[in-house]
Amino acid sequence: MTSGGNSPSRPVVRGDVLLGQIESLASVGLDSEGGRTRLALSESEKAGRDLVVRWMEEAGLEVRVDRIGNIFGILRGADGGLGNGLMIGSHIDTVIHAGPFDGCYGVLSGLAVLRAFREAGVVPPRPLAVAAFTNEEGVRFQPDMLGSLVAAGGMPLGEALNIADGQGCTVGEALAAIGCSGGEEPGFLLPSEYLELHVEQGPRLDAEKKRIGVVEGVQGISWWRVTVEGTANHAGTTPMKMRHDAGYAAALVSVFLRERSLSSGTTLATVGTIAFEPCAVNVIPSKAVFTVDLRDPDGAKLTEAEEGLAAFLEKTALEEGVRILSEHLVRCEPVVFDRELVQTVEDAAVSKGYSSMRLVSGAGHDAQMMAGVCRAAMIFVPSIGGVSHSPDEKTSAGDLLAGVDVLLDVVLRVLGF
């Protein structure tokens, strides 16, 4: 530890400021049903970005933005450089009608930790950074975790900028429209360690009455878009046996995925979007377009699930006399976090007197991408009732503060304080 002033004290997070900022950010993009929608690179997300950048500047951080729109607040270390840093990150884009914590809690907690260093007058031995990565949710642009993927070198910038949303607007155009394309090359700030604090978004910590989740890894994710082409015909005159019903074929796939997942024990499958054409009450659908989200902590079992889906699509096409096309949107391999860093998270939780348990994340996170380029780990706090991706997402203030308390302790341990 080196002093920026006369006598540095130990960094302490100001919980009231953190909770106030979480609440303020949660009010950006609010809808009448109590959720908020800040799809990546939208006008409402831009308002959230502006707020976060202002808070970074107020905390005395150096703000840099890269060409995929990732935002970094940096506190330089004793050597004045950017190398060998420790980064804390997450995202501030949301799903549709989201809760207040997903991603925002991690970004604002990282900011709270860096602010604590500044306010204590402590110059860290190595640079600290807080990151808000672009398009983590993947609702508007696929793949998800796009900003961290590009920063980690997993996709060339040019390819990412050309990805289009459902309306044909590309990432590059969306960045330009809201003026959020920065000047830094993605990957200009690759840390030695990456930490992400997040609400669990699942029911385990709440059910087990544990305050801290020591995250050992993230399960694998595979996203598909499936298009079924059948034949439109009259709902009242076409005998059931003479139909080539795209809607029915889509329903068969959905039921198959649920049953296959239930019997597999570990695989999760979700048909989260579906659209029919012509979409009329008395017309047999000529087209159904739907998405499939498959997840499994075991990469081989995820591959089996993908193969099972492919075989079922082929069989259904044949049996129902429809054409089925599938496009692979995303494949993220399961990730195992750095053992030593995971142990440090557990040690910090124990030393702070918080109950904890080890678990594997069901949700995708930027930490998955960063784990490819540095030592990475995550900390979870309970989601009440396991609810997330919903306006009803809740975590108690006490648990939010316990999480950032552990995060700061991990940072201090990693830096050798």
Q: Which residues bind ligand GLV (CB under 6 A)?
A: 137, 144, 363-364
CA angle 108–112–116, rounded 5-degree value: 170
Per-residue binder mask for Mn ion (CB under 5 A), 52-91, x = binder: ----------------------------------------
Smaller CB distance to ligand GLV: residue 91 or 244? 91
Nearer to Mn ion among residue 103 and residue 127 (C-beta): 103
CB of 295 to ligand GLV, least distance (A): 8
- Give the nearest distance from C-beta 390 to ligand GLV in angstroms: 12
**Under the criterion CB under 5 A, does residue 103 sit at the interface with Mn ion?**
yes
Toward ligand GLV, which CB reaches closer, 105 or 276? 105
- Please state the closest distance from residue 328 (CB atom) to ligand GLV, in A: 16
Query: Cβ of residue 291: shortest distance to Mn ion, in angstroms?
Result: 15
Looking at beta carbons, which residue is closest to Mn ion?
Answer: 103
Q: Which stretch binds Mn ion (CB under 5 A): 99-107, 211-219, 250-258, 396-404?
A: 99-107
Q: Which one of Mn ion, ligand GLV, none interacts with residue 35, CB within 5 to 8 A by kind?
A: none
Rounded to whole angstroms, how far apart are CA atoms 149 and 160? 9
Residue with smaller CB distance to ligand GLV, 21 or 388: 388
Question: In terms of CB distance, is 140 or 287 closer to Mn ion?
Answer: 140
102 lines the binding site for Mn ion (CB under 5 A): yes
Sole window of 95-103, 181-189, 214-222, 395-403 interacting with Mn ion (rule: CB under 5 A): 95-103
Q: How far is the CB of 41 from ligand GLV (least distance, A)?
A: 17
State the Cα–Cα distance between residues 405 and 15, nearest whole angstrom.
9
Q: How far is C-alpha 306 from the geometric centre of its chain's CA atoms? A: 22
CB of 139 to ligand GLV, least distance (A): 9
Nearer to ligand GLV, 127 or 213 (CB): 213
Q: Which residues, in sequence order, are bridge partners of residue 391?
A: none
The C-alpha R_g of the chain, in whole angstroms, comes to 23
Residue 346 touches Mn ion, criterion: CB under 5 A: no
Q: How far is the CB of 92 from Mn ion (least distance, A)?
A: 10
**362 part of the interface to Mn ion, by CB under 5 A:** no
Quote the crossing angle between the two packed helices 339-351 and 397-414, to the nearest 10°.
120
* DSSP assignment of 178-227: TT---SBPTTTT--SEEEEEEE--SSHHHHHT-SEEEEEEE-EEEEEEEE
Binds 127, which of Mn ion, ligand GLV, none (CB < 5 to 8 A, cut-off by type)? none
Tokens coding 359: 């678990």
- Compare residues 137 and 245 and give the one whose CB is closer to ligand GLV: 137
Considering CB distances under 5 to 8 angstroms, the limit depending on partner class, which of ligand GLV, Mn ion, none binds residue 364? ligand GLV
Concatenating the DSSP letter of every residue in 126-168 gives S-EEEEEES--S-SSSSSSSHHHHHHTTSS-HHHHHT-B-TTS
Total interface residues for Mn ion by CB under 5 A:
2
What CA–CA distance (Å, rounded) separates 399 from 378? 15
Nearest distance from C-beta of residue 366 to Mn ion, angstroms: 8
C-beta closer to ligand GLV: residue 137 or 206: 137
Instruction: Return the exposure string of 175-205: e unless at least 16 CB atoms fall within 10 Å of the residue's CB, then b.
Output: beebebbbeeebeebbbebbbbbbbbbbbbb
Query: Do residues 391 and 97 make contact, with C-beta atoms less than 8 angstroms apart?
Result: yes
Q: Which residues contact 346 (CB under 8 A, 6 or more apart)?
A: 214, 356, 358
The helix/strand/coil state of 328 is strand
Closest-CA residue to 132 (of 99, 158, 109): 109
The minimum distance between CB 311 and Mn ion, in angstroms, equals: 30
Please choose which of Mn ion, ligand GLV, none residue 143 contacts, taking the beta carbon within 5 to 8 angstroms, the exact cut-off set by kind.
none
Q: What is the DSSP string of 248-284?
A: HHHHHHHHHHHHHHHHHSS-EEE---EEEES--TTB-
Token pair of 68, please? 């995929």
Placement of tokens 């980064």 in the chain: 87
Tell me which residues touch Mn ion (CB under 5 A): 102-103
